Every structure is written in C-alpha cells, then in structure tokens.
Structure 1
C-alpha cells in the first residue's frame, strides 16, 4: 500500500459548478451515479463496455429515479441530458468530472487512468469509485496524477449520503477541495480520510458485522431473516441517529464513554475472542445464496431495490426533519458497501 499525505477535511465552500460528467462503467454503482447526477441537472455521458449498456441505463432510470432523495424524478426528463459514447477518449474529452466505476483490477485501472488523464481537460476532476485501491497506485502511469482521487460511494449511491474521499502523496490539495465541493453539490456527504487504509472505513465496519452475522446464521443461532430483524430493530435505528462512539458515550450515563469503558472495557478482549471466523468457501457461498433466495423470495431486483430506497429515504427524511443529519456537532458525515462492475454488483467488504 502506498503512503499518502494526510488530508484534513476541507472547510465548506461554494460548489465548483461542473456541468458535464463522464460516468465510466454501467454496473450497479455507475447506474446509481448516473441517475443522481442527472437529477442534479448535470449532463451525463456514459462510457461502458457492457453489452446493452444503453438499455441497462434507460431501464435503471425507470427503476431508480422514483426513489431519489427529496422525491422522485421523471425518468424521461432525466434522459434528456443523457449521452452515450463508446469511445473512452471521446467520452472524457470535454467534461468537468470523470466518475470511474470499473472492476477493482489495478492493471485495468492504471491503463484506464493513463488514457483518461491524457484525453480529459487539464482541469477535470478524475474520481474513482474503487472500494480498496489508492490514487497513487491507480495513477502510476499518468503524467498528471494530482487530480485523481477516490470517491467511494455506498450502495445505493443515489440514496446513501456518504462518499469516502481519499487522496494520495501526489494529490493536489485544491483537487481535494474541488472534489468535496462537487459531491456536496449533488447532495452527498463527503468524508476525507486522514490516512489510507485498505478498504477504507465504511466497508471495514460492514465487514466486521457481516462476519459475525454469517457466523451466527451458520451456527443456527438465528435465521437470516431473524438476523436482519435484530439489526433493523436495534442497531440500525440507533446508528441512524448516533454513531457507535456516541451511542456508548450515552450508554455510560453522566460518566460518558470513560465510565462505560471502565465497566465494560476489561471484558471486551474476551468478547472479541469469542467472535466467529467463518470461511468463505464455495460451500459456504452456496449455502448462504440458497438461504437468501428462500428468505427473500422471488421478487425482482427492481422491486426489492425500490422498497429499499423508499425505506432508506424515509429514514433520511425523518432525520432531516429533526435536524439530525449529523449527530456530532460540527461533524461532516455518516453511513453502507461496494464499488462497481460492468455486469452488476460486486465489491463490498
């Protein structure tokens, strides 16, 4: 892992005001970004090697546009600002921002950004949705890697506010400022990581919970549906209002986190030792896949995604009404999972 310069979160500033964004890749994450950017009045040019990319994007607008935060949008109105360009160099030639969403293959990303860096305008922001690679590594073949940053969204990117922003040793601080301003201009809550860490922050937290969830289901402690209920009826609502540290700070009563750790802390080492360590063998994957199909039925992806978006928007809207978009005074961000693939969802923890 390459070293990077620590980047403190920049102060709020006016949006940079880009008008045209190239979205590279039309998998799950690319489709979400495309829908969100169009909803914020941007012209979006999609470049994809995916077979039937135009059809996939058009269908995705019909599925995702009704679930956009703040109320649904007319897919037809969004499509009026949508373009398709199969040639990569032409796709990025005159854009303000590039949002890349191809598989997390370092060789692939290095060659892609070499070509993008040579063809895109000198002032264009070059952003990657990668869930694990670092800018210094992805930009190793670029003449000017200073404008390449990670902008890692959480799935679904058109709804979940968080974007993890990661710079590198060669990243221009002005590019970090511009990146944050751009994401804020489309309704996101960017958090600039102060240090590089494999898989960043949100996916590391998610991986820890997923590991124990799989262990508990495999051991027959609860079913998959019951595990979901435990989270959505306890930790989910709690963490939508306050993060883990503030939750335990409040759990300590008047003594706060110091008191809580003084009581519970000595036992945490033993508790961590008891956590499961399931192995992701082909047999485990098959069993979990069978369980998921039996648990969640035969509803189409579009129907399940629409129901998810409606519920997540309801939570975000309720928090906004009570002024709880950020539970930490003066803070700048919060909450879920992957990066993209030309043929659908991938990545995750």
Structure 2
C-alpha cells in the first residue's frame, strides 16, 4: 500500500488524511465542497502532518483510480453513499478495498451501489479523531469477501490502528451501541432527577472511565473478582446485576428532556472554551496512549 484515497474531507476525512500522511502514505483526497482543499491542507498541517504528499481532486473517481485503498467519509445518507460508491466501484482497481467510515449504516446497504465488486465493500468505522484514537471497527456486508476483510484488517494494523472484526453487521456496530447503552441510562437519570449532568460526567470520568481507558469491561470485571476472577463476580453479582438491568430507564427524547440535557451541559461547561477543552481531552488521551505503550 502506498496511496490512500480519502473521499470526503470534513472533520473525519481531515483526520484520516493526516493519519495516513503521518504513517508515510501518499493521500489523494476528494471533496466537492467549495474551499475543501484549503480547509484540508490547513487541517492536516494543524495536526502535524506534511501536506507535501497530499494531492486533491474534486473528482472522486479520479481519486479512487489512483489508490490502493479507499476510505470514504461522506454524509450519513443512503442516497449520497449510493451515488458515491457507484463512482468509486466503477473507478477503483478490482483489488482495492472500498471502506466507509459510516458510524451506523450497514455495509450491505452501502454495497448495493457497487455493481461491479460488492465483495470489496466494508465499513471501516474509526473513532473521532482517527489520527488519535486507535479503534477501527471493520464490518462485513452480506457479500463482503474474506479477502477484503483480511486486507482491511491488515491495512489498518499497518498504519497503527487497533482494528476489530465484527462477525455480523448491525446498526451502530459495537462501540456506538455500547455508548448508546450508557447514554440511555445517563439520560434517564437526568430525566428522573437522580443526578445532574455534571455529576454523571464526574461519575464516569473519575470512576470507571479511568479503568475503561486501560482494559475493557470483561477484563476489568475479571480483575474485580480477585483470585476467583469473573466466575466469582458472576456467581455473587450476577443476580443483583440482573435486578439493575430490570431497573434501567427507557427515556424518550422529548423536548423537555432535550432542554434538561442542554441546560445541564451549559451549566457544567459555563465559561469553558470548547477548543481548549478539546485540546485538553486530546492531550490526556495522548498521555494515556503513551503510558499504555510503555507499560509491559
């Protein structure tokens, strides 16, 4: 792999382009929006990538034809994806994987537009920002080949990502579904007046979130069981956990709940510069990643 096509250069596309450039690849990018090239070059330079190996064209087919791998980042609309993938499938070499960054759309639906080679369409869903967060969820559609999945997994690993392979497609993939489960209860707790938005954020960021940055839910649960591990946890906390599940909320996104959430965030972050907060988040994430790399 030497050249990646980045199709769509919004926030995700800029981050992907910078990541590929930082890993020594050439990038050919495409976006039809006015001023897209200027914003892209400014964005990758701000992240710290050298834009010298970046080329730009408004023609998505031309970008795909020059690439060894295609990473698409267009809006989450089926009509847009279909129009775009018809072009990409018609232009890219037959051995080139077409990966969508879609956070929730199913690859089977996306691949319907790839009449020539639907078997090479996958979802390669990153977490924002892709140049920083290692996870990529690689999702097959009904007609995706094992060769395409293997190629996508190998490619993402080669550029420093931590890809995971889904065995089946489902809306939201894995990580967004896990986030949605947490958000559901967080929103319910606010709606029921159990806690403030700020206190719920503190409960995660100063509690289990610290452990989750190191190990996943199953490994953390295993450690909490002492010598007996997760078997001990399930034996002793399984029934209470089931009771908690039955008590979890089922919030409805009413205008009243939306106002509670927005007002709560505004109160929590009053006087905080969003750009400074994002820089703080990214700095801490980098420190955590560095610590994980240095630890045995």
Encode CA deviations 1:304-330: one digit per residue, 9 max, x unaligned: 32221111010111111113xxxxxxx
TM, length-normalised to structure 1:
0.79
Give the aligned partner of residue 40 of structure 1: 23
Give the aligned partner of residue 88 of structure 1: 60
Change in Cα spacing, 1:218 to 1:313, as seen in structure 2 (3 Å) is same
Equivalent of 1:119, from 67, 91, 110? 91
Q: Tell me how far apart the structure 2 counterparts of residues 28 and 219 of structure 1 sit (CA, whole Å).
A: 35
How many equivalent residue pairs? 295
Give the aligned partner of residue 37 of structure 2: 54
2:123 alignment partner, SS class: strand
Instruction: Report matched runs for 1:133-152 at 5 Å.
Output: 133-142=105-114, 143-152=116-125
Encode CA deviations 1:171-224: one digit per residue, 9 max, x unaligned: 222221111111011110111111222211111111111111222233333332
Give the aligned partner of residue 282 of structure 2: 309
Q: Which structure is higher in RCO with an 8 Å CA cutoff and minimum separation 6?
A: 1
Encode CA deviations 1:145-164: one digit per residue, 9 max, x unaligned: 11111101112211111101
Provide structure 2 residue ranges, at least 5 long, that are not aligned to the other structure.
none
Give the aligned partner of residue 10 of structure 1: none
Greater percentage in helix: 2
2:55 alignment partner, SS class: strand
2:163 alignment partner, SS class: strand
Task: Determine whether 1:255 maps to 2:237.
Answer: no
Encode CA deviations 1:241-292: one digit per residue, 9 max, x unaligned: 2221122222222222222111111122221122122222344334423332
1:150 alignment partner, SS class: strand
Task: Determine whether 1:30 maps to 2:30.
Answer: no
1:131 alignment partner, SS class: coil
Maintained 8 Å contact 2:107/2:169 = no
TM, length-normalised to structure 2:
0.92
Give the aligned partner of residue 269 of structure 2: 296
Q: Tell me how far apart the structure 1 counterparts of residues 25 and 34 of structure 2 sit (CA, whole Å).
A: 25
Equivalent of 2:152, from 160, 179, 184? 179
Equivalent of 2:193, from 217, 220, 239? 220
1:165 alignment partner, SS class: strand
